[in-house]
Amino acid sequence: MKKTVRRLFPVWAFEEEEQWLRNMAEDGYVLTGVGWCRYEFEEREPCSHDVALDLLEYAPAAPESVRYISFLEEAGWEYVGSVLRWAYFRRKREGEAAALYSDSASRVKYLTRALRLIALVGGLNLMIGGCNLTLYGLNGLAVSLLGLVNIALAVLCGYGAGKVRKKKQDLEREENRFQ
Amino acid sequence: MPNPPLTEAVYYILLSLLTPLHGYGVMQRVEELSSGRVRLAAGTLYGAITSLLDRGWICALPENGRKKEYVVTRAGRAALLEEHRRLRELYENGAKLLEDQV
């Protein structure tokens, strides 16, 4: 049976999103397609699949990403699809649950890419919000209210980035504890 | 200047690439060599392979329709030998001092 769920995850909540997709797979709903705030699932055996989320360094169609995706496919992961640079993978479970990264150094790199994206989204909102607010005289109240929304989003991005940064620092500290 | 100590994953990847292997083969060989203790995830292995290629410690063999295979280069073998010597020193000193105490 197929099931489509519409759900919005903020840009910094990628780990919660991945956990949610894993929980869905554990309940027997395996991810088969993705779109903007849209997830498609198919009912299978509970716990039969692992799901993972990755942030590609390049656009999904770029040769570097194509190489990376086919490397993961050779290693048993299936590419479900992508939204912007977020790529979704699933894998038939054999024995223990599988993940895409197995050491702190590679997880730190992944979190660094995510932080860069959050900073970009936050920075753009701050800039657009600033412009909308300062152009109040020209554009009227509606635009400046929109500007306030942008600024609020930028503040939220800052909060999200702080959470991700903390996770990254904890991993780095753990890695360098005895160095 | 000597190389900094290699991570466990890099050491095992280089060891497993003394003979040509494709990515998935490396994952299996590393697990086998470490008796199942070191299990490399595919994303982590890809990052390690990319940086080893950049350093010139491994190279990709010309593709002939099959999966891409990699093998250790002369520089990679030298780094592996250097790390092996370092690990032997650690092991031997540990053995000397610890075994005296038992």
The dihedral sign for the CA sequence A168, A173, A175, A176 = positive
CB contact under 8 Å between B24 and A75, yes or no, is: yes
Nearest CB to A100: which of B24, B41, B67? B41
Is-contact A157 A11, C-beta < 8 A? yes
**Number of other residues whose CB lies within 10 A of the CB of residue A12:** 23
Residue B91 Cα, gap to closest chain A Cα (Å): 18
**Model pLDDT for residues B59-72, shown as the tens digit of each residue:** 999 877 677 899 99
ipTM over 0.85: no
Query: Over 80: is that where the pLDDT of A135 sits?
Result: no
Query: Over 70: is that where the pLDDT of B47 sits?
Result: yes
CB pairs under 8 A between A and B: 46
**Model pLDDT for residues A102-133, shown as the tens digit of each residue:** 888 889 999 999 999 999 999 999 998 888 88
Q: Which site among B31, B44, B90 would you substitute to test the A interface, given the most A Cβ atoms closer than 10 Å to its Cβ? A: B44
Is-contact A48 A93, C-beta < 8 A? yes
Is-contact A72 A118, C-beta < 8 A? no
Q: Which site among B34, B38, B46 would you substitute to test the A interface, given the most A Cβ atoms closer than 10 Å to its Cβ? A: B46
Mean pLDDT of B24-39: 94
The dihedral sign for the CA sequence A23, A29, A33, A37 = negative
Q: Considering only alpha carbons, which residue of chain A is nearest residue B51?
A: A106
Is-contact A48 A90, C-beta < 8 A? no
In percent, the amount of chain B with pLDDT more than 70 equals 96
Q: Provide the whole-model pTM.
A: 0.86
